[in-house]
Structure 1
Amino acid sequence: MPLLNQTVLVSIGLLLAVWTVGAGWFVLEARRRARRGEAVQRQARRLARMIDEAPALPLLVRADGRIEGPSRLAGWLGLDAMPGYLSELDAGEHGLDEVELSRLMDAVRRAQKTGAPFRLALMPRGGTRSIAAHGHLADPQVSPGGAALVWFFDFSESEAELVKLRTETSAAKADFAGLSGLIEAAPLPMWFRGPDFKLRLVNSAYVKAVGAASADVVIAEGIELIEPVDRLSAAQVARQAASRMVPIERSLLATIKGQRRALRVTDLPLGDEGVAGYAVDIEEMEELIRQFRRFREAQREMLDTLSAGIAQFDDKRNLVFANQPFLRIFSVPQAWVVDTPPFDRVIDRLRDAGRLPEVRDFPEWRRERQSWFLAREPKEESWHLSDGTHLRVVGQPMPDGGLLMIFEDRTEQLQLSATRDTLLRTRTATFDNLFESLAVFAPDAKLQLWNRRFAADWGLDEEFLATHPRADVLLNQIAPQLKRPAQVGTIAQVIQGATLERKQRSGRLMLADGRHLALAGVPLPDGNGMLTVLDITDSQKAEQALRERNAALVEADAVKTRFIANMSYEFRTPLTSIGGFAELLQSGLAGALTEQQNDYVAAILSSVERLGEQIENVLDLSQSEAGTLPLKQEKVEVFPLLTQVVQERAERLSAARLTLDLRGDRSAGSVIGDARRLQRAFGQLVDNAIAATPEGGRILVEASRKRGAKLQVVVSDNGRGMEPAILVRALEGLKVSADGKSVERRQGLGLPLVRQVIEAHGGTLELMSEPGLGTSAIVVLP
């Protein structure tokens, strides 16, 4: 019993121990499972939370059509709660419409049967939400039996973005198409280079400029429009623009359609895409610039020729140009203008030089002139300087904001105006005190000016003349005072000739009271005509008396000429007898003569010869004055004739210790005339030279043929010479005194006869003399 109990107790103890251990194990396992369940629950809640926060929501569609999905998906579909079946997603005004649901159900069935995935875009009713459905066959661990798992994505924002992108893409395509068309139609060459800086795109203008067949040919052959400049090709310049990431603009020459043109070329870097470029033809602009420069230079050269001073200021109010009159008026050096001083400095300098008018408030005065830059109309004023200079100043605002100032020196003009006023008053006073009647008529025949004598001579009223009547009205008032009123037309012709025809005309009239008037019309420089009327009644009487006296004198001169001619012939007979008897006595027919008697006879013969020459001179002179001098028409060799004249006077030249130089030869030629009278004329010139030349002097006789086939003979000496007035008197037949400074009645006829003989042969005689240098007689014969 005790053993059993002991065994039983042991067994019970073991059982209790085992139970205790098992209970403990069960307790521990239960706790472990509880902890695992809590972890699973936490994980499930976390996964559910993640699904709620996920951008995609799942929908499990079983084979029998039942569905499982989060409530958030119901909100996306516009439902209050998820329905039990897929077909219930169409809830009338909410959920999917029939078309959308049919598409979804067909896709789900296809996926359940074939396992083919699908993608759909769904638009629930009554909203703007866009949902993308991506479905496939579900994993058996998720749902066995051929269920389908559909993931829904809300891409409403992405759809809006896609719409926006599509719109922008469409607009970009349209813009690109328009831009491409614009570039293609652009008249200037344009191109695009890729990252390798080779041509990738060119427009039609580029193709035409290089003369290529097409753009493909240009790109394929790499035909460049721009030639290398400074050893840099167009591609290298584009590379520089891309490396610097800044546009490069340059001006150069290029050949466009076979012509050299000026271009402005621009290379524009476009990031990693490449470099674009275009060329603008600036040839016309360059030509305009050159023309503008030439115009400006010509304008400034023209401004330098003006008498007015010109100063030009730019839009910054700096002096950019001043012509020479400006520099002269204001004593400004050219170097100072080159520095382009501002307007204020220019005014200050003019003030320091005393070339501005005196003003009380100079700063205010200067500000007023600065306002001329902003004026809309030209400003004009007068400057009276301290030295008496009067300037007219004009400020012309320029369209570019600058100012052109013109300084006209009117000092002389004002002086001339004052002088003109004085002259007008003097003219009026002179007109009124002349003995002639004066009247000035305009081209329209209106009376402009008249003097008091004009009104008095014609008996006209001053009030009538003050109306400046026309000539026809005035002549109607004058006509009754004429002896023959029809002669008023003579006055009209004189006025018309002076005003319209610009010719001088004259005439004479007789008044009814017996007075005689002389008319004259004179064209005036201002286009008017002046009528002068002079009372010549007394002069007419004196003229008639002079005519009668002149007729008597002419008759007396004719009687004198005939008397002299007759007396010359009468003197020849006894003179010839005296000479003949003297020659007989000299020859010894009457017996031998003593030495003294021979001297007397020689003196008689010399006097007879001289008296004969004087008689011949008187006869020739009288015949010449009467126009009856007989001249032989024969060929006369001039140089031999001059040689004979000189040889005949060899003894006189030797006795007077004079030297005579005869120049010329037979090349001087001949003339047609009277040899005897020409010899006497040249002999008289030589005799005059001998008489006027002191002892030891020199005489020159030269014969030469002038241009135009005229013969010239010069007889000159280095004697005392004569004053011009004395020289003229010598040609009139007066004898010159020994000192060459006075004249007296000479014995013989000399130079007057020489001049008449030379002129009778169609030639001229000219005397030239300088006191102390000698006299020259120049004879020109045809």
Structure 2
Amino acid sequence: MDLGSTALALLGLLLAAWTAAAAWLMIAAASRSRGAEAARRNAKRMARLLEEAPAAALVVRSDGRLEGSDRLAHWLGFDQLPQFISELAKYPDRGLSREQLDELTQKVRLAQKSAAPFRMAVTLPGSSRSLALRGSLADPQVSPAGAALIWVFDFSESELELGRMRKEAARARSDFAALVGLIEAAPTPMWFRNADMELQLVNKAYVAAVGADDAQSVIDQQIELVEAVDGEPPAEIARQAAQSGAPIERVVSVTNVDGMRRRFRVSDLPLAEEGVAGYAVDIQEQEDLAREHRAYREAQRSMLDRLSVGVAQFDDQRRLTFANQPFRRLLGVRPGASGLGTPFERLLSDARDEGRLPEVRDFPSWRKDRMAWFEAGDTQEEDWPLSDGTHLQVVGQPMPDGGLALILEDRTEQLSLAANRDTLLRTRTAMLDSLFEALAVFAPDGRLQLWNHSFPETWGLEPDALDEHPSVDALLGLIQPNLARPKQAKGVGEVIRSATLDRKERAGRLQLADGRTIEFAGIPLPDGNGLLTTLDVTANEQAETALRDRAEALEQADKVKTRFLANMSYEFRTPLTSIGGFAELLQAEVAGPLSDGAKEYVAAIIESVARLTDQVENVLDLSQSEAGLLPIARRELSLLAFVTGVARAREDVIEAKSITLDLRGSQALKLQADPRQLGRAIGQLLDNAIEASGEKGRILVDLAKQDGGVRIVISDNGRGMDENELALALDGMRSASEGGAEATRRQGLGLPLARQLIEAHGGRFDIHSEKRIGTSVSLWLPLA
């Protein structure tokens, strides 16, 4: 019984122990479950924190395997992270470049072996994404067996912002350097004062103006450019500008280094709290010009007061600013009335009341039309016939400033004289028609003015052909078909020009195509015109007399030619030299000031003398060459340098037409020749080539040895000539057709003269030309 009770007690104790153990196990399991749940929550939170972190972790195992998040894979451009590090450069449009992968692999291996941390920044190929890599040996609890842990940061936005800031900083530095350079190079003195109104920066112009050694000495000594005005130093005025916040500008006198007083416009510009900038502009020349303008305007008005022509000036407000005495007299302005400042329309109304305007039916409309002269773009001219018989010529000249210059001229006397002149001309015409001789009067410009009925009959012309008052050249073209020798028409023109321009009497004789013989003479008239008188002498001349006279004329012409060739140099050059010398003296105003128009005439005279001198030289050389009298003074010439000088004399014309001139030759080429005559020959050929070449043409000058001499080729790609034109170009005159009525002078004596000059040196002259292809001239000259 006792054993049973003991067994039951032991069994109860055992059951109680198992119950307690089970309870403890249940309590411990519940506690562990709660811990595991908390750990899972912490793990999820840490994972979420890692996903939201600005950096992504990448684990590189020792065998090259990669562990990382999908976000890092997306950063690298992959849908999923590659398994091995070598696969990061597998694709060209994603991941890393081969160079970046090699550098990363090297750093990872170094970190795995030596636990050395590393940093690296990469920009993914084909993308603007920038990544920062910070790597080290991974903790064994993170990844055992020597793995490398790399934290990857995406700093693309920061990199873009840094790039933008670098560009802005570089641009700011460039702008600042340019601004400093601009201020330093400014021709006007410039300076900067700090907050204490002390000079802190000055430019070179400031240093030069104050005569200092350098800018630092100016700042150290605080040398002021501007003197004190009314006891206030420049620094005080700058302080006032800084306090008011508005710039201060003033005009002061400054004594420069040379001791000269000049006027400067000085400005002080406040720059917020930084200080005050200043600059000084030299306005001495402006003030001098203003004084000169005022003096010129006063002199001009004083001169206008002395003119017999009425002149008035109106400003852009259409108010009278100036009127000389003739203007007031012509418009009937009473003393004390219509003074300066009178409106233009009021002036016209007062003139109408005085009867100094034309009688018009609608005066307001007429006045309105004259008011439009202020806005007209060109000069307005009209005549005002007044009721008292006065005839005024009115010119309205709009001014650039919107004003108007009104000019009145009394033409009553001129019109009366013109009427009397017309009466005299009609009387003279009637008198000429009653004469037996054929008469014609030519103006100095060569136009036919008057003729009688016998003139067209004598020369075989239609009377209607003279109604348009043809020029001498046109008249000679009409006369030429009626001459037995059409070229004699040139002699008629010379007689007319001698009477009108040279004021000399000349006479001549010629035979018409119908067998008649006429004598003609040119007589200068007192009014500047020339009279051509013609007389039919056929009935008074016999054939024998005509032949004898012709023989005598030929003999006389031969003598004249001989004397001409003997004395032409003096007779032609001396007057031209005198004319040119006197014209240059006039141009230099040795005889007194010239007006603008006179200066233009003098310049035209000098230019004409130069052209005529060149033509005379051509004619003299050609005439002397044909007569065998051309002097040749040979000396040794360096051909390339000589031809270069001839071409450079025509440099302006060549550049004006954008012509390319290619000069080829050796410096060693030398020959014996007359530099003047050879230069004229080559110059004439170059002038012809330049004239024949169009815009952007090409001229080739080639110098070379050939056949014991020197060959000079001058070619161009100009308009060229056919065979007929080339043959005519080598002559001085050509006819429009066989036996035609018109003679045409070609462009000059260049080719005949050049050929004569080359042949005078014992050389050869060859020319070839094709239409629209160009012309080539080949010259051969002996060396000695």
Which TM class, normalised by the smaller chain length?
Answer: 0.3 to 0.5
Between 1 and 2, higher relative CO (CA 8 Å, sep ≥ 6) is seen in 2
